[in-house]
Structure 1
Amino acid sequence: MAQRTALITGITGQDAAYLAKFLLEKDYRVVGTYRRTASSNLWRLEEMGVLDRVELIPMDLLEMTNVVRVIQKVRPSEVYNLGAQSFVGVSFEQAVYTSQVNAIGVCYLLEAVRALDGAARFYQASTSEMFGKVREEPQNEDTPFYPRSPYAVAKVYAHYMTVNYREAHGLHASCGILFNHESPLRGREFVTRKITASLAKIAHGQQDVLELGNLEAKRDWGYAADYVRGMWMMLQHPHGDDYVLATGESHSVREFVDKAAECAGFRLAWEGEAVSARGIDRASGKTIVRVNPDFFRPAEVESLRGDASKARRVLGWQPEVTFEQLVEIMMRADMDRAARGRLLHLRF
């Protein structure tokens, strides 16, 4: 059997690093694309030990001719579109740019795949944020979308465009509606990694306090390595389709903080409510967690919990890492980084 080639957009991101390692272990040729401005942000591939095994190609999702040339040059058997403006908070300030990259950029990719010969299997990174103001719980593939951010609105467009190319042009195209999936490779702009990195720095005397937004927001948090396995499984199925990947459990930001603090050696006592809430270290009496109203979203998504029964039934996928294990994995990694002074470096 000839070696398969996978093209991964957004190769500098968390999911791409885990996916690249996963595919290399299956003897794929892995080609990753990145924006030229992100060329120095390759630390995740370094952390995974695969930087020297991934072919890197600059590509801008907003330049159609660039996208077409890359697809023609690489001739991938599988395309994993993980490239995006992926921070929900930023999308409120950069709504137009987010819409261009996360929506129109996907259309460019789909058209490039179709124009070549339509043989490449295509994965679109959809998101649980599309459910937004949820209509039912848990959410599955048939739950109506109600996006609550420019990021989520753009992802809904990309989702349905992928479905349309599958139905109208016969592409083997799948959408993974992934609920929150985290790891030590998460960027520190995401709340889970902000929590673990900040608590690790506090534990090592490198920071005084962790400031957060809505402590009561609930999410279905899983481990990124489990979820990239699901991406690959979607493209191995004979037909493209849409799948929710989730743990089926929902935990609040406050619960994540409590568990992470415990792993860092703190026992928190909570005082106050809403924006006045504070997490106090029982041993020292110091406030190490507090709420900052500036971190609240203009339109909040209060609770998300996924139903991945279709992925279990059709693909045989299920998560292997529990919520508690995930927090411990992330906290141990950041405690180690803080001990070595690595969290003082911006890229981590």
Structure 2
Amino acid sequence: MSATRRPSPRPPHTVRSAWMDDVQAPPRTALITGVSGQDGMYLARHLLAQGWQVVGTVRPGISSLARMAPYLAGVEIVEHDLTDALGFGDLVSRHAPQAVYNLAAFSAVGRSWDQPELAARTNHLAVVEMLQSLLRHRDKNAQDVRFFQASTAEVFGSEVEGPLDEESSHRPRTPYAIAKSAAHHLVISYRERYGLHASNGILFNHESPFRGQQFVAGKIARVAASAACGRHTTVALGDLDVERDWGSAADYVDAMARAVGHEVPDDYIIGTGQTHTLRDMLTAAFAAVGRDDMEDHVELMPHLWSATQAQALLADPAKAARQLGWSASTSFDELVSGMVEVDVRRITTGVAESEAYLG
């Protein structure tokens, strides 16, 4: 029996690439899924400042759109369910983007145990359909569309040691991380087999004043800001000694854009190369408002900590520095103090969101 002959991988840029068009051509268009999230908002503003037209998708009926609206001026907003494959193909046909950034996701790691099917459809199968749509678009229009997939350090699992780089093994331990790992490898497969300009960014923890309050960094910033404003509130934490590599979302979207703009598609660790504990974050948050009574505002609840989570996650971003010329520019203390400062302004003014909060 003869072996099945597989098509040879197609190298990138074998068809006309709008990326290389004359600078006098109309502005390039980027399609960002999940534009009303922290990363989507920062990326949209970053690209608009570079002269791009930006189309951003939001899940139908999502509440965060109203909250983030002050920061999305100039973005064309469209409703789109990430699991709607035909709808995504229509978006690509209608807007003909030169780049697609997939930042939308089922992002609640713990809740993925309750909804594993939705996590898989959103974080993995939707990416299959996106890549297929981009292939069909290329075949029909002889035009490449560059693709960026937002991956996560959660793919490395709980049993990790030392700095993690692009070659570190994936050992995902949650439905969320399993789906993200599958999508990550899918991007690599489509890049190698079909020559798509498709890149993964393995994002370590990154925050901003516009991160949802359901995330731990946002909770810590808010409890410190509340204390500064004379309000006694508490935050429930499971383990103060867990270590994470925390960076600034504003820095990380620059790495995303550089990955898409790089001539050769690849995968990149995006992190700072330094870790801090939750205890460090609490200390920095309360120091930002001149207080040292963080213990009075913390409730330790060990059941909140899960064995499926790594005790420490540290990035090795050397490849991004070497190939993209990128490194994190915001220090940990600057990141935390900036978050607390904005929350103080929110509390004292009663204005939840304002473009002035961008600094």
After superposition, residues 100-119 of structure 1 pair within 5 angstroms as 100-117=121-138, 119=144
Matched residue, 1:65: 86
Residue pair 2:147, 2:198 contacting (<8 A) in 1 also? yes
Match of 1:201 among 226, 249, 254: 226
Deviations 1:121-174 (A, max 9, x none): 000001111112244410000010111221111100110111111011110000
Distance 1:203 1:126 in 2: 36
Q: What do residues 227-266 of structure 1 show as CA deviations (whole Å, max 9, x unaligned)?
A: 0000000011111100001110011111101110111232
Matched ranges for 1:223-262 at <5 A: 223-262=248-287
Distance 1:137 1:300 in 2: 15
Once the two structures are overlaid, the 10-residue window that deviates more, 209-218 or 312-321, is 209-218
Q: Deviations over 1:68-95 (max 9, x none)?
A: 1111111100000001011222222222
Alignment of 1:8-23 (within 5 A): 8-23=32-47
CA contact (8 A) 2:157 2:308 kept: no
Aligned partner of 2:337 in structure 1 is 328
Residue 335 of structure 1 deviates from its aligned partner by 1.3
How many residues align? The count is 326
- Higher mean alpha-carbon deviation, 259-268 vs 1-10, is at 259-268
**Residue 40 and residue 191 in structure 1: after superposition, are their counterparts in 2 closer, same or farther (change >3 A)?**
closer
Distance 2:291 2:114 in 1: 35
Identity %: 40
Match of 2:73, SS state, is: helix
Moved more, 234-243 or 110-119: 110-119
Cα distance in 2 for partners of 1:166, 1:154 equals 19
Q: Hey, what's the Cα distance between the residues in 2 that align with 1:198 and 1:71?
A: 42
Q: Distance in 2 between matches of 1:97 and 1:297?
A: 21
Cα contact 1:183–1:330 (8 A) shared by 2: yes
Deviates more, 1:218-227 or 1:142-151: 142-151
Residue 161 of structure 1 pairs with residue 186 of structure 2: yes
Contact 2:158 2:307 in 1 (8 A): no
1:255-334 to structure 2, matched below 5 A, reads 255-268=280-293, 279-280=294-295, 287-297=296-306, 299-334=308-343
1:340 aligned partner: 349
Distance 1:130 1:40, change over 3 A: closer
Corresponding residue number in structure 2 for 1:273: none
Cα RMSD, aligned residues only? 1.8
Partner of 2:216: 191
Over residues 269-300 of structure 1, what are the superposed CA-to-partner deviations in whole Å (9 max), with x where a residue is unaligned? xxxxxxxxxx53xxxxxx21121234223522
Q: 2 CA distance for matches of 1:95 and 1:56?
A: 28
Cross-structure match for 1:276: none
Structure 1 gap ranges (5+): 269-278, 281-286
Change (3 A) 1:319 1:328: same
- Partner letter of residue 64 of structure 1? A
Q: Distance in 1 between matches of 2:325 and 2:312?
A: 26
Paired residues of 1:102 and 1:158 also in contact (CA < 8 A): yes
The answer to whether the Cα contact below 8 Å between 1:202 and 1:209 also exists between their aligned partners in 2 is: no
Query: What is the distance in 1 between the residues matched to 2:207 and 2:41?
Result: 12
Contact 2:158-2:308 at 8 Å conserved across structures = no
